[in-house]
Structure formats: structure tokens, C-alpha cells
Amino acid sequence: MRQVILDTETTGLEWEEGHRIIEIGCLEIIGRRVTEKRFHTFLNPNRDIDQGALEVHGITTENLADKPVFLEIVEELINFIQGSELIIHNAQFDLGFLDYELSLVNFPITRIQDICQILDTLQLARQLHPGQRNSLDALCKRYGVDNSHRVQHGAMLDAEILADVFLFMTGGQSELQFGNMQTDKKITETSVSIDNSHVNDYSKLLVIKPVEEEIVLHEKWLTLLETGKSLKE
């Protein structure tokens, strides 16, 4: 299946408060190879950018004054991602903003989930590395991905980094090709056997399971813990 890595930058953290997308970056993966096909645009949000968001990505309203609005690029964006498996780090964040933008322009498609399969690399990382920080920076460090050039966030830059991280997470060995530049990277897996014969039998202990509300709150807390200021770091 064709896969598309997607990332966004926004004016703030909550689309429910009227915040908007200001940058979208997408790149294509086919057969575990990054192709040269990309979609990248900056957007004029027609509103101010929160100071906290500005500190994360460094994009100012002045930078965006001559950029297109979402309505002008929506068809091209949909054509690029439609039918693909969309790979996003903390998908809930980006999908919430994208669906909000679609609602503002009365586009026939109202939910990205209706035209794409979604793979959330934050959720995948939590399954692979429970109890650890799983921000994009933390995953880069864990898998040996060079992100030294990531001084500030950027949708296209973060999509490129996420592509590298994703291929490591899902294959153990990745061979990325960006244009004419090719890099081979390997991860060595070590099997560890553990002797549990001395472990006591705890099968009769009472297990108290969290209620749904507690699970939701815990997920939000984990996201904040993992990502710091930006909910999609």
C-alpha cells in the first residue's frame, strides 16, 4: 500500500479554540522507500499565532502574509493523500486540525479518516516502548536517527525525520532514499531469556482496572509528558 508521512504546524494547540494550520508537509513511501513525491505548503491562517506555538516552530504571521489559504490548496492535498495509509505522530492532533479546516471550507470530504487509513506512530511507540518517552526527539535518540538539524519544528522537516524513525520502528533495518542520497542503517536485535521459576504466583491477587474516564485522562497526561509544549512533538 502507498504510505504518506504527514505533519502540520499550527497557530496553537487547540482547533476548538479556532487555531489554524500554517504548514503541511507530506512525503510518499512505496515499498519502504521514500520517493521524491512530496506535498508542502505554508498557509495564511488569517489570525494571530500563539507565543507558545511561535517558540516551537518560529513561523510568524509576517512570514505567512502572502501564503495561500487552506481553500486554495485543499484539493491538491486531498489528491495527494487519498487512498494512502497516512502515518502521523500523535494523529489525533493533526487529524483534528485537518478535519476542522475541511469543515471551514465546506469541502465534500469532511473527515480524513474516510479517505485514508491512519497509523499513529505515537501509539505504535507506546506499544513498543511502554513507560518511556516517545516524542519524536526521544525516538530519534532511541533509534540513532540524526536530528541535530532540528533546531525548531517544521512540518516538512519533521515528516522527513518521522519517515526515518517509522522505518526503523517497523522493520529493524531501513534503507532510505531521498533523491540521490541513500543511507543504510541497521539495528541489531538481541534475544534475552529470563528465568521466572522463582517468581511467586500472583494470579489470585485482586486486579483493579481503570475506568474509561481514567484511561482518557491517563492518555492525555502521557501525551503531555512525552511531548512537552507541543502536543505533537
Tens of pLDDT along 90-132? 999 999 999 999 999 999 999 999 999 999 999 999 999 999 9
**Could you tell me the three cell numbers for 104?**
471551514
Dist. CA 40–CA 8, nearest whole Å: 10
pLDDT at 201 over 90: no
| Band of pLDDT at residue 182, cut at 50, 70 and 90 | very low
Amino acid at 134: N
- Catalytic positions are 153
Cα–Cα nearest to 87, from 112, 39, 110, 120? 120
> What pLDDT digit, counting tens, does each position of 40-74 carry?
999 999 999 999 999 889 899 999 999 999 999 99
Between 202 and 45, residue with greater pLDDT: 45
Closest of 42, 33, 38, 35 to residue 8, by C-alpha: 42
Q: What single-letter DSSP state applies at residue 142?
A: H
Domains and CATH numbers, the chain: 3-227 (3.30.420.10)
pLDDT digits (tens, 9 = 90+) for 205-223: 444 445 445 444 545 555 5
Q: Which pLDDT score is estimated for 173?
A: 47
Q: How many angstroms separate the CA atoms of 84 and 209, rounded? A: 36
pTM of the model: 0.76
pLDDT in the model for residue 196: 43
Between 35-44, 71-80, 124-133, 182-191, the lowest mean confidence (pLDDT) is in 182-191
Helix count (H) and strand count (E) of the chain?
8, 7
